[in-house]
A and B are shown apart, each in its own frame.
Chain A
Amino acid sequence: MNKPNERKLTIARAMAEAMQQEMQIDPSVFVMGEDIGALGGVYGNTRGLLDEFGPERIRDTPISETAFIGAAVGAAQDGMRPVVELMFVDFFGVCFDAIYNLMAKNTYFSGGNFKVPMVLMTSTGGGYSDAGQHSQCVYGTFAHLPGMKVVAPSNAYDAKGLMTAAIRDDSPVVYMYHKSLQGMGWLGTEAGATVHVPEETYTVEIGKAKVVRPGKDVTIVSLGMGVHNALKAAAKLEQQGVEAEVIDLVSLVPLDRDTIRASVAKTGRLIVVDEDYMSYGVSGEIIATVTEHDISVLKAAPKRIAFPDVPIPFARVLEQHCLPNPDKIVAAWDEMKAA
């Protein structure tokens, strides 16, 4: 996808650029969160914004997530377009009421009289031994609860377009970025996430999945970091003469069920890769999307590679045992083929 002279950005810079451009054209957009000012965000996604917009619109908050996320709901209902950062998604535990009982429900409760046009951006993911309170994805937890859109970019192009779309959306959007894709060297960034990003503003549609690699033998569905694992697995499968089609969900809510169904109708085989916990989550939902629609398209039982239902352990060997990786995806194909 990359041409030699094109500008490439990290996801962190792509997110910052989207916020910057929206703040330039819309005075109602502002950003709140911990360490998003002088530090530029722990993951770099607000870098440079304080210098351009000042502390009135780029607000460092106390460590008071219930207060500032609740406050964002109130500000959004009152005509502002706040972007708030929950530094690690794991911290939702201290402030979920403001998120799922207010942000997600006030539009409905008010019969549409109140809009809550806010973005909750939050980091997800592990793989660097940060243990069980700093490594989770909990995609399914957010996507399960009605009233919030949920997106998860796998690369910088989508990251910018999704952020712009999220800020302009009149509904609350949970924007879940993955630490390993962020472009922060200290988190060992996945190279495939840093791609060409146009300078002009553009949006990426929320609710539309992308076929990022076409194939006819098996459909691999994933999101965020999992897309890169799926692409690596697809490259390995290609050496065995297997053509895997890889779908990047991009958005969990709304979920683009048509794209998934169309792909599996073509390949007859489905592998879902999800860094979130296995049970009651994204992987089950994707499989149900296919099976409840038309089970006859399947030539084999679907497979899922997800984080086992245990808290995320610290030690490298323990965590790596649990995380999805390309080899596990290839192994799933091997089992599927043998079945």
Chain B
Amino acid sequence: MTPTREDQHWMYHNMVTSRRFEEAIAKIYFDGKSPVFNMANGPIPGEMHLSDGQEPVAVGVCAHLNPEDIVTATHRPHHQAIAKGVDLDKMAAEIFGKKTGLSGGRGGHMHIFDADVNFACSGIIAQGMGPAVGAALSRKMQGKPGVAVAFLGEGAVNQGAWHEAMNLAAVWNLPFVCVIEDNSWGISVPKEASTAIANNADRAAAYGIKGMRIEGNDPYAIYEAAGEAIARARAGEGPTLLEVETYRLAGHFMGDAEGYRPEGEKDDLFAKDPIPKMRARMLAEGAATEAELDAIEAESAARVEAAITFARNSEDPAPEDALTAVFA
């Protein structure tokens, strides 16, 4: 299954929007944090985990999803949120901790919740598994359409919750897809030091489901594999486990000195940046013209700028708002 011309444009657009968004956040993040870097300061305080380089996974999967489908994501959620259609203005405002944010500033960057497009994320490793599997169960019980996708890092498969939820999805034959973004690092710990097997898709055998590993951080290959997995889920044929090779171009979080990376790794990764690669491929295959891609890029940049401006110009929440919304 190759993406249509339209799908390719959509994928490229979302990859570029995500990248521009991360670049904008990265720049603003350091405002107020120099010369002394203190996470508490500046317009965007707290931890910040950027998704630069991992965009192909988000778009290759979300190209097959509708707003009613469910996505759970992690502490590194911006690329998936954008590809799932989370409101960019409100998401930016949430990251800035503004009243107009998705959660009025209560959640911040690790807690992006958008009920309109069924998107949620959280900061505890593997925590999205249970809720995604539960949403898949709910759709099945209610006889409603929809699949649930849990995005996780490769570090998450060593968490008990991951295995328990995987088994549950399989034994109940739920419309669920687990997508592991293998960027080969869990903070400073390389995959081979933490994980007993090289290919996490092999773990699908333990649950009697289909598993597949996709190499090369390639949006086309991801699109194809995810398309099959999601079609299977929609057809009532149960869950799938996908592991996707991807690259983390940024540090684990902003401020990470990345001393643990082998020399030259970053240069190699930047040389494989998936965005210029996709652009080149579309041009080579005649899937887009220079002018079309330039227009997409300009539109992404403008969209991001508008979202950042919205966030910056929004009001802070009232301090006492902290005490509201605890209960329904």
Contacts and interface: CB of A to CB of B under 8 A. Distances in A.
Contact of A128 (B45, B104, B126, B160): B45
Given A134-B110, A187-B39, A317 B316 contact: yes
Interface in A53-70: 60-67
Contact of A314 (B108, B122, B188): B108
Interface string B117-138: 0000011111000000000000
B319 A63 contact: no
A155 to B, nearest CB: 20
Nearest to B195: A62
Contacts of B156: 63
Contacts of B158: 62-64, 67
A316 B322 CA distance: 10
Contact of B322 (A65, A188, A322): A322
Nearest to B47: A130
A324 to B, nearest CB: 14
A133 B127 CA distance: 11
B37 A315 contact: no
* A interface, over-half SS: loop
B260 interface: yes
A128 B319 contact: no
A321 interface: yes
B260 A38 contact: yes
B67 interface: no
A63 B97 CA distance: 29
A127 interface: yes
B326 A314 contact: no
Contacts of A185: 36-38
A187 B38 contact: yes
B126 to A, nearest CB: 8
Contact of A315 (B39, B41, B98, B193): B98
Interface string B314-325: 001111111100
Given A34-B187, A63-B186, A316-B97, A131 B322 contact: no
B124 A320 contact: no
Interface string A301-316: 0000000111101111
Given A311-B326, A314-B106, A318-B105, A42 B39 contact: no
A38 B252 CA distance: 14
Nearest to B46: A129
Interface in B5-40: 36-40
A132 interface: yes
B161 interface: yes
B138 to A, nearest CB: 23
B200 to A, nearest CB: 12
Main secondary structure of the interface of B (DSSP, over half): loop
Interface string A34-49: 1101110010000000
B3 interface: no
Contacts of A309: 326
A315 B316 contact: yes
B326 to A, nearest CB: 5
Interface centre among A134, A315, A316, A322 (most CB of B within 10 A): A315
Interface range, A side:
35 or more
Interface in A107-160: 127-134
Contact of A63 (B41, B123, B155): B155
Contacts of B109: 314
A285 interface: no
A256 interface: no
Nearest to A130: B46
Interface stretch (A1-9, A90-98, A216-224): A90-98
B289 interface: no
Contact of B107 (A62, A127, A131, A317): A131
A38 B101 CA distance: 38
B160 A42 contact: no
Contacts of A275: none
A315 B95 CA distance: 9
A22 interface: no
A134 B316 contact: no
Contacts of B84: none
Contacts of A131: 46, 106-108, 110-111, 123
B287 to A, nearest CB: 39
A126 to B, nearest CB: 9
B85 interface: no
B313 interface: no
Given A90-B124, A185-B38, A318 B195 contact: no
B66 interface: no
Contacts of A65: 159
Contact of A39 (B97, B110, B188): B188
A308 B319 CA distance: 13
B319 A129 contact: no
Contacts of B160: 64, 66-67, 94
A17 interface: no
B194 interface: yes
Nearest to B260: A38
B115 interface: no
Interface string A76-94: 0000000000000011011
Contacts of B155: 62-63
Given A186-B38, A315-B97, A62 B194 contact: yes
B261 to A, nearest CB: 10
Closest 3 CB pairs of A and B: A314-B108, A315-B97, A315-B105
28 contacts: A35-B188, A37-B189, A39-B187, A62-B155, A63-B186, A63-B194, A64-B159, A64-B160, A93-B124, A94-B125, A128-B39, A129-B40, A131-B107, A185-B38, A187-B39, A188-B38, A188-B41, A308-B323, A313-B105, A314-B94, A315-B98, A315-B105, A315-B317, A317-B316, A317-B318, A318-B97, A318-B317, A321-B320
